[in-house]
């Protein structure tokens, strides 16, 4: 028996349950709780044991829940868990695609947490979405999104990934960009409410807005990132077409990555509401993660200090001291939840390198 939140789940052969994903579930539960007054029906598309959907009902008060599970053994386990926890819901042994193409209902919240990538499901989920639908998408194909398999990323997500110190942020932006392009085909724009990159998964929380103008407005946030692997210079440009560029710092040819989402990764009203809605019994790691997110600057891209000091042929430096040096010069700074050795700042690369040199002598 596995206990998480108010749910009690029986382990069963053929039904996947990952205790290490508890923090991911805690944040999803808090997110839906923050929307409670606006939420009436929730779809858990890849339910497995049913733990996430069960917690939505028990802890968020959701009364209209639909759960999908294509695996027959997992489906049977899910039905038992629903009954064991006293939760009434619609449980279906079917695929996301089949459901989306036969359902005549639209949902307030759609939770997508498959084993692997989300790309095979997004197109069909747009068919059961409406203006204001909240999409929670969790991707675990991080090797693809972070550049370990660049051909797979270009084939699946239509983007060239980074495979450097910024790959996890780039992965989030490629994932969001893919959803943006797919949603636009259905005249949906997106609002990014929250983004999380942690261990083996990437987690995006979006709100869909219907209308061709909304779709075009979202597409205007698409573009490309440019990076110099020699001196670590980086830049980005919102554009539909990438261009060849040389590094203004050292003259080296810049590598091009994307297309990807270059808009905001956070809505502060949402992230603060989610932190407030975290239950006192929730995993302390979830609260700590949300605190870091709430203190994070919303600027592309962060600076990984070990990579910078390596390029400068210097020993390691304290992120706090570098931030203090930058703040004395009037720049905004923060840590990032994605990388404990990285900082975000409004300063450019030359100013960051100067702050590193100053901090070494403090």
pLDDT tens digits, one per residue of 178-206: 999 999 999 999 999 999 999 889 999 99
Minimal CA–CA distance to 53: which of 15, 81, 14? 81
The model's pLDDT over 200-229, given as tens digits with 9 standing for 90+, comes to 899 999 999 999 999 999 999 999 999 999
In whole angstroms, what is the distance from residue 146 CA to residue 207 CA? 24
Reported as a pLDDT band with limits 50, 70 and 90, residue 17 is: confident
pLDDT at 38 > cutoff 80:
no
Which segment of 28-37, 46-55, 174-183, 297-306 scores lowest on mean pLDDT? 28-37
Q: Give counts: helices (H), strands (E), the chain.
A: 14, 15
Q: Where in the chain is the domain with CATH 3.40.50.150?
A: 2-222+256-294
Q: How many CA atoms lie within 13 A of 91 on its CB side?
A: 23
CATH of 2-222+256-294, picked from 3.50.50.60, 1.10.8.50, 3.40.50.2300, 3.40.50.150, is 3.40.50.150
Average pLDDT over residues 63-85: 96
Average pLDDT over residues 315-330: 96
Interacting residues of 73 by C-beta distance below 8 A, sequence separation 6+: 12, 13, 14, 15
The model's pLDDT over 237-288, given as tens digits with 9 standing for 90+, comes to 999 999 999 999 999 999 999 999 999 999 999 999 999 999 777 778 999 9
The model's pLDDT over 82-122, given as tens digits with 9 standing for 90+, comes to 999 999 999 999 999 999 999 999 999 999 999 889 999 99
Q: What residues are paired with 48 via a beta bridge?
A: none
Reported as a pLDDT band with limits 50, 70 and 90, residue 16 is: confident
Which pLDDT score is estimated for 12? 81
CA distances from 80 to 62, 92, 242, 244 (A): 19, 13, 52, 57
Average pLDDT over residues 337-357: 97
In whole angstroms, what is the distance from residue 134 CA to residue 168 CA? 23
pLDDT at 362 > cutoff 70:
no
Q: Is 176 exposed, middle or buried (0-12, 13-18, 19+ CB in 10 A)?
A: buried
Minimal CA–CA distance to 290: which of 27, 21, 20, 19? 27
pLDDT at 125 > cutoff 90:
yes
Q: What residues are paired with 343 via a beta bridge?
A: 303, 335
Mean pLDDT of the chain: 95
Strands laid side by side in the 333-335 sheet: 303-304, 342-345, 333-335
Per DSSP (E only), the strands in 131-248 are: 134-139, 188-198, 201-210, 222-227, 234-238
pTM of this prediction? Answer: 0.96
Q: Where in the chain is the domain with CATH 3.30.56.70?
A: 303-359
Instruction: Using CA atoms of 187, 192, 195, 201 in order, give the dihedral in degrees to the nearest 10.
Output: -10
Average pLDDT over residues 114-142: 97
In whole angstroms, what is the distance from residue 67 CA to residue 138 CA? 16
CATH of 303-359, picked from 3.30.450.20, 3.20.20.140, 1.10.533.10, 3.30.56.70, is 3.30.56.70
């Amino acid at each position: 028996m596995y206990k998480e939140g108010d749910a009690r789940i029986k382990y069963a052969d053929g039904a996947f349950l990952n205790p290490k994903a508890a923090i991911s579930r805690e944040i999803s539960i808090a997110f839906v709780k923050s929307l409670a007054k606006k939420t009436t029906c929730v779809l858990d598309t890849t339910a497995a044991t049913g733990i996430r959907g069960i917690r939505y009902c028990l802890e968020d008060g959701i009364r209209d829940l639909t759960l999908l599970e294509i695996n027959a053994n997992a489906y049977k386990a899910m039905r038992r868990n629903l009954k064991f926890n006293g939760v009434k819901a619609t449980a279906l042994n079917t695929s996301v695609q089949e459901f989306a193409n036969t359902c005549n209902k639209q949902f307030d919240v759609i939770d997508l947490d498959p084993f692997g990538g989300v790309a095979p499901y997004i197109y069909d989920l747009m068919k059961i979405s409406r203006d204001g639908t909240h999409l929670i998408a969790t991707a675990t194909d991080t090797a693809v999104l972070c550049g370990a398999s660049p051909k797979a990323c270009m084939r699946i997500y239509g983007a060239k990934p980074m495979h450097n110190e910024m790959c996890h942020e780039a992965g989030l932006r490629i994932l969001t960009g893919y959803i943006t392009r797919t949603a636009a085909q259905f005249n949906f724009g997106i609002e990014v409410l929250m983004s999380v990159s942690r261990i083996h998964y990437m987690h995006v929380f979006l709100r869909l807005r219907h209308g061709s103008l909304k779709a075009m407005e979202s597409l205007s946030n698409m573009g490309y990132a440019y990076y110099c692997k020699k001196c670590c210079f980086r830049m980005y440009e919102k554009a539909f077409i990438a261009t060849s560029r040389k590094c203004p710092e050292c003259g080296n040819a810049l590598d091009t990555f994307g297309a990807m989402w270059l808009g905001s990764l956070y809505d502060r009203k949402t992230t603060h509401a989610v932190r407030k809605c975290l239950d006192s019994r929730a995993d302390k790691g979830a609260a700590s993660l949300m605190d870091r997110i709430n203190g994070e600057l919303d600027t592309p891209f962060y600076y990984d200090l070990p990579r910078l000091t390596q390029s400068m042929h210097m020993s390691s430096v304290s992120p706090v001291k570098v931030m203090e040096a930058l703040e004395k010069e009037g720049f905004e700074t923060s840590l990032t939840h994605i990388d404990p050795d990285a900082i975000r700042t409004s300063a450019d690369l030359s100013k960051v390198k100067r702050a590193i040199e100053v901090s070494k002598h403090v």
